[in-house]
Amino acid sequence: MTVCVFASSSSRIDNDYATAASTLGLLLAKAKMDVVYGGGGIGLMGSLADAVLENGGKITGVIPSFMKDEGWDHSHVSEMIVTSDMGERKKKMFEMADAIVALPGGVGTLEELTEAMTLRQLGLYEGSIIILNTLNFYRSFIDFLEHMVSGNFLRYEHKGMWEIADTPQEVIELLGKTKTWHRNPRSIARI
């Protein structure tokens, strides 16, 4: 199984987020799950990658050429795919992923997570989507998703597109369960 992890590149956030990212990296490596991520060397991306590498796991970075040119890539990730732009980066990551895990992050992480949800809603991505809600980071976003459902911008059935985990251990447990969301997502895509 290849798990795509979206995460913050900020190095200025609370260390508890980095600890959770490192723990997830360790657990993914121990579970023999391959990881694909945005290729960054700092922030939660760096913490995740360091932990995967330190524990003998396999990790692939996918980074746009302008970010590599800026030196934002992780220098120890041996498999680094360089793309022409952000769109190609996401497309490659989605193609490689059997499951997606979103750690806390900024607008880039949020955009990646919501695109994954959109693709799953339309039946263009079939893997799991797990939101790691470290320190209740995603509470407002989860409430907003509920608001979309209650306002009929999403169907009630769409709530099954994603799962929430409060700890890295819960992420691993969810990844270990085979869960089919909907046999024909397009049949309910139109509200």
For 179, the token pair is 């869960």
Instruction: Choose among 107, 106, 81, 105: nearest CA to 94.
Output: 81
Distance (Å) of CA 51 to CA 21, 25, 80, 94, 97 = 8, 5, 17, 22, 19
**Can you list the domains of the chain with their CATH numbers?**
2-173 (3.40.50.450)
Task: Residue count of the chain, please give it.
Answer: 191
The model's pTM is 0.95
Residue 187 has pLDDT above 80, yes or no: yes
In sequence order, what E strands does the chain have?
2-6, 34-37, 59-64, 79-83, 99-102, 128-132, 163-165
Confidence of residue 181 (pLDDT cuts 50, 70, 90): confident
Residue 85 and residue 92 in contact, taking contact as beta carbons nearer than 8 Å: no
Q: How confident is the model at residue 107 (pLDDT cuts 50, 70, 90)?
A: very high
The rounded distance, in Å, linking the Cα atoms of 39 and 149 is 34
Q: How many CB atoms lie within 10 A of CB 17?
A: 22
pLDDT at 183 > cutoff 90: no
